[in-house]
Amino acid sequence: MRIGIYNNETAESQRVTKVLKTEMKRAGLTYVEKDPEVVITIGGDGTLLSAFHHYQKELNNIRFVGIHTGHLGFYTDWRSFEIDDLVDSLVKDSGQAVSYPLLDMKATYSDGQTENYIALNESTIRNVTRTMVCDVFINNHLFENFRGDGLCISTPTGSTAYNKSVGGAIVDPNSVGFQLAEMASLNNRVFRTLGSPIIFGADAELILRLRDENGHVLTCDRDQWMLKSEKERYLTELSYKVSKQRIYFAQYRHNNFWNRVKDSFIGGVH
């Protein structure tokens, strides 16, 4: 089995990486820099997000394992002091995995060109210079005219990230779909939106048609673009649907999602 390592630059992550490589070599495991079958991330959820996008074209052939060297993460199952147990699990690996859905996003510009992205957590669109105005279509039918700060479109696993901060629902990751949550929508006698998160099924398509040419900030997980009108080329439309790809985690002891939610947001029983 070919094992890759992807770590952040903190001193602790560097130390853990060195220890892991030593223990893997002692156990007869193969460390590779290209074409890994398992990728071990060392850091936190941000590190795993970076690794996910780094290996985006190889997702069908990779299983991820996360070691957290800081605060408890939603994608990181192992602690830095559990290297021996992890290496033992790698030695006994039989291909076991758990997978979660991803989000496909297509951006369309005024010149007809398109760009495609994939998100593990979420994509957001905001206007930082004025109220964002867009038409929201669900399965090609106009649903509402949105006015507000912006919109957040998230995966089930990403529902505990930025989506939760803007009032979205937490979704069981065994569900296949995605979610739309509003950011400070305008609701009065003139303008009206649903005002609640919307959870879509596996076959739904969400389309956002933007009315303004300038001031938009588009994100996909940790990547961000400030979109400016240049030579009459500007963002006109975003479409979202469940990706045909999925992310796979090596299921040595993949922790229960709802235990993670409880530990992260509720804590001990009072």
Write down the pLDDT at residue 264: 83
Q: Cα(233)–Cα(112) distance, rounded to whole angstroms? A: 9
26 is in an annotated binding site: no
121 is in an annotated binding site: yes
Cα dihedral 34→101→118→79 (10° resolution): -50
Write down the pLDDT at residue 259: 84
Supply the DSSP symbol for 160: G
Q: pLDDT, tens digit, for every residue of 2-51? A: 999 999 999 999 999 999 999 999 999 999 999 999 999 999 999 999 99
For residue 65, is pLDDT > 90?
yes
Residue identified by tokens 């400016």 is 228
Q: Are 15 and 22 in contact (CB under 8 A)?
A: no
Q: pLDDT, tens digit, for every residue of 129-160? A: 999 999 999 999 999 999 999 999 999 999 99
Active-site choice (45, 77, 104, 221): 45
240 is in an annotated binding site: no
Write down the pLDDT at residue 230: 59
161 is in an annotated binding site: yes
Write down the pLDDT at residue 9: 93
Q: Is 45 a catalytic residue?
A: yes
160 is in an annotated binding site: yes
Q: pLDDT, tens digit, for every residue of 188-246? A: 888 899 999 999 999 999 999 999 888 899 999 989 988 765 566 889 999 999 999 99
122 is in an annotated binding site: yes
Write down the pLDDT at residue 269: 57
Cα angle 24, 7, 257 (rounded to 5 degrees) comes to 90
φ/ψ of residue 181, rounded to 5: -130, 140
Write down the pLDDT at residue 256: 78
262 is in an annotated binding site: no
For residue 80, is pLDDT > 80?
yes
